[in-house]
Amino acid sequence: LVYLYAKRLVSKINLAVMNTPPLPKQFALDISHSPKASLENYLPGKDLALISALQNIEGSWKNSKNEDSDNPLNQRWIYWWGPEGSGRTHLLNAIGNAAEHADLVHIALTASEPASWVRLEENISALAQTSTPSVITVDDVDQLDDRLVGSLFRILNAVQASRAIHIFMAGAAAPANLKLREDLRTRLGWGLVFQTQLLDDDEKIQALGEAAKARGLVLSPDVLPWLLSRFYRDMPSLMALIDALDAYSLETKRAVTLPLVRELLQPK
């Protein structure tokens, strides 16, 4: 069991929402059955061009593991940017999961795990010399410290010189607007660059409905509109609540109706 506490969830909410209800009571959440992030369970909204590019790359991996790869850089090197809650991390996780499903080496890099950067730099020469695709994902590029900025600069040079390394990066701003050194900002734009867009309310309801369906969770029709008008509006918090409702419904053996939602969200 993974325990989610209300204070952790509240730290991620949009504080600008004035009609947010009281803090939810403490609850336990079993996420072992939650679907893994994939391109298929991502609602593209206005991000169709990015999704199409990632799907094409994912498709190429199914037949290229044992063949020479000479893909142009803009088919191996993608950076996307957008506001928090626009799906940046979901897409990184999705393409990483796709790589692992294709039995490719996948290295996930984040600002909070510097050791993984050191290990990659130690092994990247070997990856660069093989024709078998490998995949690097880098989240929150805008949060990298000076040491990791230098590491990413060296990694990108190695990717450029390689035959088959793919790198996917995400951040909060377009390359030119990142507060990073100029030579790294320039390199981030060497491949394809996309902007991820926030979903509108109808798209959020569709995405949350599909997430509930994937979990086998049946929601009464008034639940999702009520959550959007009374609960947090960012997608990570809303998706976390779908998981919480799933767990609470199983625990109480009750259908997910508006009374159950209100009960879950009551303060302790």
For residue 216, the number of C-alpha atoms closer than 13 Å in the C-beta half-sphere is 5
What CA–CA distance (Å, rounded) separates 93 from 108?
9
DSSP-derived secondary structure letter, 131: S
pTM, to two decimals: 0.76
pLDDT at 31 over 60: no
Per the DSSP assignment, residues forming a β-bridge with 138 are: 109, 169
> Burial level of 111, CB count in 10 A (0-12/13-18/19+)?
middle
Mean pLDDT value of segment 149-160: 96
Given a cut of 90, whether residue 157 has pLDDT beyond it is yes
User: What are the helix (H) ranges across 17-145?
Assistant: 48-64, 88-101, 114-128
pLDDT for 15 equals 31
The arithmetic mean of pLDDT across residues 77-93, rounded, is 94
Rounded to whole angstroms, how far apart are CA atoms 186 and 149?
13
